[in-house]
Structure 1
C-alpha cells in the first residue's frame, strides 16, 4: 500500500469527536503490514515498536482532527477525500493524517540497526500516533505519564513551505500557548452611591494596564527571532446599568517561547485581583544539534530544494515530549495555511518525500 492510499483511507475516517475508528485502522494496518510489537493504550494511542538498543527514535503524529466543514462530509458520514492536481483534499489530509501515513510506511520499510548487527548504532524505532492533540495534547500527556520516553522524536506536523515554497524544512523550535484568566473582585453597591462599593471593573482595568506594559520574552533559534506575545482577548463584568460590579474577568492569550515567561503574576499585586492558568501548552526547542542536523541532511537528500532549520509559530505535541526530556524536531508535509481549513489539502509528492525523510533518519540515527 502506498502512502497516498493509506492517507486516503485514513482521512476518510471521521475522528473529530471520537478517534477510535481511525485508531482501529492504524492498529490493524500495523499488525498486518509489520512484525512490530503493536499496542493500543486506554485512551486510544497507537504505538508500534521494533529493533533493540539503548536509544529510542520515535516517529510521532496524531490521528484526531478538528471538526470538518459540511462540504468535507459525505452523505454516509465519512469524510470526503478527493485527489486532483497532485494533491489530496479533505479534513485531516494536512493536519495530520498524511504525515501519520508517511510515518507508518517509513516505520514498516525501515531496516533498523540492532545490537547484533551494529552495536555502535543499536536503536529502537517507535511509531506513535496520539489522540487528543487538537484538544490540548490529551494522548501525548497520557503516554508520557505512562512512561513513553523516547530519546529522540521526529514529529510530523507541517514544516513544508517555511523557508521557500514547496521545500520541506526541519523545525527545531516552536511557540507554546498559555491561556489564563484575571479575576477582579470588588464590592457591589448602587451606582448612585459608588463610594460605598469597590468597582471590580476598575480593578480589572488596572490589571489590563499591567498586561499592556509587559515585555514578552524572545529567544534566537536557528537564526530566527522567536518572539512571544501577550494580549487581552475577552472581558466580562457587571450585572446592571445601575450597579457597581463586584466581579470582572479578563482572558489573556499568551504565546510562550522556550525559557522565561511573561510575569503575568504581577497583576496579583492589585487588591482583589487573582490570576489563574487555564491552559499551558509548552513550547519546544531541540537540544541536540547533531540530531537536528541529521534530520536536515535527510530532508536535503530527499528533495531538490534546499531545506533549512526553521521555527514554527504554534504549539504541537512536540512541546509535551520536549518538556518530558525528548529531543524533538518537526518535519512534515503540511504547508502554512492548510490545516483546519475548508479546503485542507496536502501534496502527494511531499507525502512521498516525507516517507523518504523518515526512512533516512530511522536508518542513520543514532550515528
Structure 2
C-alpha cells in the first residue's frame, strides 16, 4: 500500500485510520510509513521492528522530536472510517492517528532539505505496541537498542490533548491485597471465616482516603487511590477462604516509585500487599529552554496530564517532554471514537509555524 503524505491532513488521517493496526498487527502500516518517509528528500530513515524513525540532519542548534504510536486498541465495528458533520469517526482517530498524520504531513511538506529554512532539526518517531503491556512498548525497545535515535532537546508526544499542552504525567502503581479466610459449608457458616466479608474494612479505608493535590510548575495534579477489581468466591455453597482486591494508585510526579509504594503500604498497613505494576511519572519540565519556547510560541497555558504517557520514558532519558495532540482524550478507545477535522488542521498549523520559526 502507498500513503500520500502531502495530502490534506484530514485525508491523510483517514488513510491511516483505514489501515487496521491493532497492537501486534502494525507491520502493514509501519511498512507504508517507512516507504513514504524514505521518499522524502532530506530525511534519514531507520526502522526497528515496527517502529520507524526519520530525522533531518541540518546541523541546527536544537532538535525537536515528534512521537506517536501506530497501534490501536481492538476494533469495535468502527472501521472503515466515515466523515459526519466535520468529524472523522473510526478506530484510532483520536488516539492517535490524527496526531501521527499531523507529524507525517509535516515531515513531507516542511523544507527539511533546505538549510536556513527550518528553526530546528526534527526527528519523527512512529512506534508500535503502545496500547499493550509496557514490556512490548516500541519506544522502550528503541531506547534500549538505539538510544541515539531519540536524542532531542524537546520531545512532543502527540497523544490526544484536545489541542492543549499537557505537562508531565502521573505515575501509576497497582497492588493486590490478599484477604485470607477459612473455608466451610455455607449452611454452617459459623465454622468458617469469610474472606470476602473482610474486604469491607479495606474498602471503607479506601473510600475514606483523602487524596493529595499538588501544584508543580503551575500544573495541578490530583492523586487517587482506588479499588479497581475484586476477586473471590469458590462456589454458591462455600464460605470463601480467599479474596483479592486490586488497588490502583495514581500519584503526582513529585513522588518517586519507591515513595509511592511506601505510601500505599502505609495506608494499607496490616494487609498483605503485593506490588504487581509500577511506573514513575514525569515532572512538567516547563523550565527547560525548548519546552518554555514551545509554550511561548503556542500561547497555550500548560495543564497537568492525568494518566501515564510515554513522556515518562523521555524523562527517564533526560529529555524534556510534553503532550500535545489534536484528539480528545475522553474519546480514546470508545466505539464511537472521532476527531474534529478542524482540530487536526489547527495542530498542523501550530506545529508548522513553530518548526519553521514563523510567529
Partner of 1:134: 131
Distance 1:153 1:217 in 2: 28
- CA deviation string 1:316-357 (max 9, x = no partner): 222322233221111111124332223322233322222232
Deviations 1:291-328 (A, max 9, x none): 3332233334xxxxxx3222232322223222332211
Q: Distance in 2 between matches of 1:5 and 1:189?
A: 64
SS in 1 for 2:322: strand
Per mean C-alpha deviation after superposition, the further-off stretch among 280-289 and 245-254 is 280-289
CA contact (8 A) 1:112 1:123 kept: no
Q: Shift in Å at residue 95 of structure 1?
A: 1.3
Ranges in structure 1 where 5+ consecutive residues have no aligned partner: 74-79, 161-167, 301-306
- 8 A Cα contact 2:89 2:337, kept in partner: yes
- 2:85 aligned residue: 85
Is the 1:222–1:310 contact (alpha carbons within 8 Å) kept by the matching residues of 2? no
* Shift in CA distance, 151/189, structure 1 to aligned 2, threshold 3 Å: farther
Q: Matches of residues 26-175 of structure 1 in structure 2 within 5 Å?
A: 26-42=33-49, 44-51=50-57, 52=59, 55-70=62-77, 72-73=78-79, 80-111=80-111, 124-137=121-134, 138-146=137-145, 147=147, 148-160=150-162, 168-175=163-170
What are the within-5 Å matches in structure 2 for residues 342-361 of structure 1?
A: 342-361=335-354
TM-score (normalizing by structure 1): 0.79
CA contact (8 A) 2:217 2:286 kept: no
What secondary structure is seen at the aligned counterpart in 2 of 1:296? helix
Deviations 1:205-245 (A, max 9, x none): 44444434443332214645320111112222232466453
2:253 to 258, 272, 285: 258
- Measure how far apart 1:38 and its partner are: 1.1
Q: Identify if the C-alpha distance between structure 1 residues 345 and 193 changes in structure 2 by more than 3 Å, giving closer, same or farther.
A: closer
Alpha-carbon distance in 2 for matches of 1:240, 1:84: 50
Conserved? CA contact 1:211–1:264, under 8 Å = no
Task: Tell me, in whole angstroms, the C-alpha distance in 2 between the residues paired with 1:309 and 1:25.
Answer: 34
Select which of 276, 281, 294 maps to 1:283.
281
SS of alignment partner, residue 104 of structure 1: helix
Say whether the 8 Å CA contact 1:149–1:325 is kept in structure 2: no
How far the C-alpha of 1:58 sits from its partner, in A, is 0.7
Residues 237, 249 of structure 1: 8 Å contact kept: yes
**Worse overlay, 99-108 or 136-145:** 136-145
- 2:168 and 2:311 in contact (8 A); partners too: no
Aligned Cα root-mean-square deviation (Å): 3.2
What's the TM-score, normalizing by structure 2? 0.81
Counterpart Cα distance in 1 of 2:101 and 2:121: 20
Q: What stretches of structure 2 of length at least 5 have no aligned partner?
A: 1-5
- The answer on whether the counterparts of 1:219 and 1:225 sit within 8 Å (CA) in structure 2 is yes
